[in-house]
């Protein structure tokens, strides 16, 4: 897997946080807060793949452009950044040796927490 940092998504996430579009939820809330497959499909149908990509810090350029499998490490619900989503993706990125994604998600978490 050649997942790389999606820099446009990172910029999008930072802008959302700076604009106050963030949910300060708890660490384990992501399983309940993450968009469902149905939510994702509706979002893609309404907004397209480029907008969908902005909600994922990971992208695999070896996968087809218009597939969900191309994108990984989601951080929000298509409206706001979720603190729990950032924590979850940082953990998964670290475990899977995606160091650049893990590092940037830690920085995003610091921005969320006002550090």
pLDDT tens for residues 36-91? 999 999 999 999 999 999 999 999 999 998 999 999 999 999 999 999 999 999 99
- The whole-number pLDDT of residue 7 equals 97
Among 70, 41, 36, CA closest to 56: 70
pLDDT of residue 115 exceeding 80, the answer is no
Delimit the domains of the chain by residue range: 4-112
DSSP secondary-structure letter at 10?
A: H
Residues 6+ apart with CB under 8 A from 3: 58, 59, 60, 72, 73, 98, 101
Category of 114 on φ-ψ map: left (φ > 0), alpha (ψ -120 to 50) or beta = left
pLDDT of residue 25 exceeding 60, the answer is yes
pTM value?
Answer: 0.94
Residues 53/71, Cβ–Cβ less than 8 Å: yes
């Amino acid at each position: 897997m050649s997942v790389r940092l999606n820099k446009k998504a990172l910029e999008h996430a930072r802008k959302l946080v700076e604009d106050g579009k963030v949910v300060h939820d708890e660490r384990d809330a992501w399983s309940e807060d993450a968009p469902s497959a149905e939510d994702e499909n509706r979002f893609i149908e309404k907004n397209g793949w480029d907008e969908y990509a902005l909600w994922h810090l990971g992208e695999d350029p070896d996968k087809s452009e218009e597939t969900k499998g191309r994108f990984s490490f989601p951080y929000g619900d298509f409206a706001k950044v979720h603190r729990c989503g950032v924590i979850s993706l940082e953990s998964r990125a670290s475990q899977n040796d995606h160091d650049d994604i893990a590092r940037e998600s830690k920085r995003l978490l610091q921005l969320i927490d006002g550090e």
